[in-house]
Structures are given as C-alpha cells and as structure tokens.
Amino acid sequence: MEVTLLHYTPLLICSNAIRTCWQSFDKSDEGGDKDKELIDRVGNKFKHASTLEHLHYNFFIKGISRALLQELARHRMASLSVKSTRYTLKELKKEAEFTLSDLQRAKKYLVFTDTDIVNEMSIIALENLRKVLLSGISNDKAKYCLPESYKTELTWSTNARSLQNFISLRSSKSALWEIRELAYSIYKALPEDHKYLFKHCIA
C-alpha cells in the first residue's frame, strides 16, 4: 500500500483555538514549543480532546483491499472518496485470462495474504469477474462478483481526535493485519511536528 499526506492544518490553528478559551493569545509562540506543549496538555493530558478537532489531515491511500475499505468505513468521523467500480472495472476487460500461475500479474488487482489457498481463490474470483465483464453485463451488476481482496484507492480526510482513535484501535495486534499496516503507514506520513500528538496511540 501507499499512503501520501496531501494536506494538513498547521498546529497554530489548534493552539489559537485553545487560546480563544482563555484569551491568552499574547502567550503564543506561533506554533512553536509553547504552543505544542499547550495542545498536548489541553488536548491529551486534560482530555479536552474536542480542541484537537481543529487539526485536519488529508491522505491519498492506494493499493488497499476492499476488505480493509469496509473496516475503514467504520471510522465515521472521516470523509472517504473511493475509486469507483462503476467507472473503472473496464480496466479488467483488457487483461488476458488469469491462471493460478499469474501471481505477479494478479497483484495489480489483488491484495494477497500469507495464505496460498486464499490467494489462489482470489485469482479464480478475479478471472470469474473478468469473464462476467466480457459477457457484456454492466459494471453495476458485475461488481457483485468482486473479491474482498480487490484493490482500491481513496482520498481520506479526518481530524486529529478521530485519527488518535483510529491509530489506537488499528495499531493493536488484534486488528486486521492490513489495517494495522495502514495505521502505521498513516502515522509515518504525518508531519514530524505533529507526531508527538499520536505517539502514545501506537500499540
């Protein structure tokens, strides 16, 4: 998978929102160490986490499975714009037949696990989907044949409070292996001066 941070809110916006409550603008150091400590103290230590909602992050996420997408959709305080199967399944029509020996070629479309039989059944499902598309059935109906391992991509926007919750839950060893990898990749993609807000969330 690939995770790219496209845009984020400067820390000064959050510290300014916090200082609005106490009218302490004169103590700001324009997003420097004093403001960073204020955000951590109020947002994390004092548990006024609503102040963290002023920080927004926008990511481009590529090469995840639809199984992961389904789990990602459970994090409701976020916005998702996902690659459309209605308009993009036509790319599969141009492919030659997929066989069980086509592991590398199938990786263009599928996320593979560490279990051979699951990967083999995904390739068979991919080939079945290709056949359905070639038969002339519309993409809207053909997509019901999509395997959960089928790759997709999306733009994902969330705020810092929701992102803390996401990283806390999804970096856990009990989380789906793929979404755990995503949680770590998102953390790594964050701006260096923002990571301190999320470090305690990493399982």
Enumerate the active-site residues.
170
Measured from the Cβ of residue 182, the count of other Cβ atoms closer than 10 Å reads 25
The closest of 45, 38, 44 to 17, measured between CA atoms, is: 38
The closest of 162, 176, 168, 153 to 200, measured between CA atoms, is: 168
Which residues make Cβ contacts (< 8 Å) with residue 99, sequence separation at least 6?
Answer: 123, 127
Measured from the Cβ of residue 105, the count of other Cβ atoms closer than 10 Å reads 15
d(CA 151, CA 134): 20
The closest of 75, 76, 81, 79 to 168, measured between CA atoms, is: 75
Contact 9, 55 (CB under 8 A): yes
How many residues appear in the chain? 203
d(CA 107, CA 111): 6
